Chains A and B, each alone.
Chain A
Amino acid sequence: MLFLRRTLPLIIAFVMGMIGILVYYSPHSGAQALEQEVTMWNRIVFAFALVLGIYSLMRLHWGRVQRQQAGWAYSFLVFVGFVVMLIFAIYNNGQGPLKPQVIDSGPFVWMFDYVQVPADATMFSILAFFIASAAYRTFRARTPEAAILLVSAIIVMIGRVPIGGLISDSVPAFSQWLMAVPNLAATRGILLGVSLAAIATSLRIIFGIERSYLGGGEE
């Protein structure tokens, strides 16, 4: 049983990892077809993982409704939104769930346009206020490094609005240069570090050194 629970997953991770590496370097059409096939399998498994995630979300809210915890009515609203949207998705503007999705009209598209899109955009735009509040705390230039951060942020912001061009033509140009040269240099340095770390972690997973994805608990 230990073989099935511990060793088999490690073997599968090793084999799939080696396939992932080897198909990239092989120009053979069979290797390319294999890469496409396993990538599609990966997508399908991800789809099931998403079902698992949504089930967990719903179970959490259903628990609150059942126990009638404080604010359970809001959890019930999650179900209302979920069920209504799902019914419209299954209805698929009269086509049913086994036909390709209708994306130009119907109640599902209406819900998407008038509920999801505005809520999505508003949620993200609220962050503008919180970022402004964070900026106030961050941009108090207490050290030379904080002063550099402050000046850099102000130049980029002013350079991206019309008033920047009105102050001087060189403000947008300098903002652009800041993004394209010093910012690029630091981003590239970070990216090189992240890439090396990603490669190292991937190798550790393939060779079974890193096993945290198997979870804890019973061997």
Chain B
Amino acid sequence: MSRDQIIFIIFLFIFATINIFLFGSGSLSADWTGFGTFIAAGITLSLYSFLYKDNPLFKFAENLYVGVAAAYTLTQVWYTVLLADVVNPLSALDSESLSNLWLIVPIFLGLFMLTQLASAKFSWLSRIAFAFVVGLGSGLTIPRTIAAKLLKQVETTMQPIPFDLFGLDLLIILVGVVTVLVYFFYSVEHRVASKIGIWFLMISFGASFGYTIMARLSLLIGRVGFLLEDWLVLPLPLF
């Protein structure tokens, strides 16, 4: 028996023992909530076992998660889009709601998309659906990007600069925006301005990196909190 197999069996034994104790002592209730906490703890520990190395427990939890998540997404699409926007309006069709018949258009477009599955002979029909989605998406993007991003961002960058600390912040922002844009302008040779732009970019990347680490750590703290508080029912803080 390999070292990994021994670790695997010891892990399962400890997990089973702890759960028998928790259910036996009444710390975990013998109902669906208690059973759910047991399952959630098992999934959490199985996924964390990847930190040791890729192993069957991790693969088990990972693949189960993929299946559940796919079904969840499909369910949400059914209840929030297909049922609410297609099935219900068409099933309640009467003389006053004849305009709902237009829904046949997106249904056909959707079915065209599914021709990719049917046969190569008809798969070209999916191009019509893709053209609809991509064309409309492009059309909706242009005015919204101009209004909400381009003009708004330029407007807030080019403000009158007062002689105080707020003015200094505005000046730094103006210099930062201009030098970063210079850095991304590849048609001319880069000199001093783009160097300053790189410094601004590095500050931004560092800040984003630190921010992301803190967000992930807060998730980790949440999971550890779940294991200690909800599963093992330990009073926190421990020390």
- Residues of A at the B interface (CB closer than 8 Å) are 4-5, 8-10, 12-21, 24-25, 37-52, 54-55, 57-58, 71, 74-75, 77-86, 89, 97-98, 100-101, 108, 110-129, 131-132, 135, 138, 145-146, 148-157, 160-161, 177-196, 198-199, 201-203, 205-206, 213-215, 218
Contact = CB atoms under 8 A, between A and B. Distances in A.
A218 B72 contact: no
A205 B105 CA distance: 22
Nearest 3 pairs of A and B residues by beta carbon: A20-B139, A185-B176, A81-B67
B113 A181 contact: no
A115 B144 CA distance: 38
Contacts of B146: 195, 199
B20 interface: no
Interface of B is mostly: helix
A195 B150 contact: yes
Contacts of A151: 206
Nearest to B41: A118
A111 B43 CA distance: 12
A202 B139 contact: yes
A20 B140 contact: yes
A14 B165 CA distance: 49
A202 to B, nearest CB: 4
B142 A20 contact: yes
B153 interface: yes
A154 to B, nearest CB: 7
A17 B117 contact: no
A192 B178 CA distance: 10
Interface string B137-164: 1111111111001100110010000000
Interface string B104-120: 01110111011011000
A213 B134 contact: yes
A131 B210 CA distance: 10
A182 B51 contact: no
Nearest to B174: A185
Interface in B24-52: 32, 36-37, 39-40, 43-44, 47-48, 50-51
Interface in B50-82: 50-51, 59-75, 77-79, 81-82
A16 B197 contact: no
A10 B133 CA distance: 12
26 contacts: A12-B128, A20-B142, A24-B140, A25-B143, A42-B136, A78-B64, A81-B67, A84-B67, A89-B75, A89-B78, A113-B36, A114-B36, A125-B216, A128-B219, A131-B212, A131-B216, A156-B214, A178-B207, A181-B172, A182-B176, A183-B204, A188-B177, A189-B181, A193-B184, A199-B141, A199-B145
B229 interface: no
A203 B141 CA distance: 10
A190 B180 CA distance: 7
A201 B145 CA distance: 12
A10 B131 contact: yes
B173 interface: yes
B219 A125 contact: yes
Contacts of A13: 131-132, 134-135, 138
Contacts of A135: 209, 213
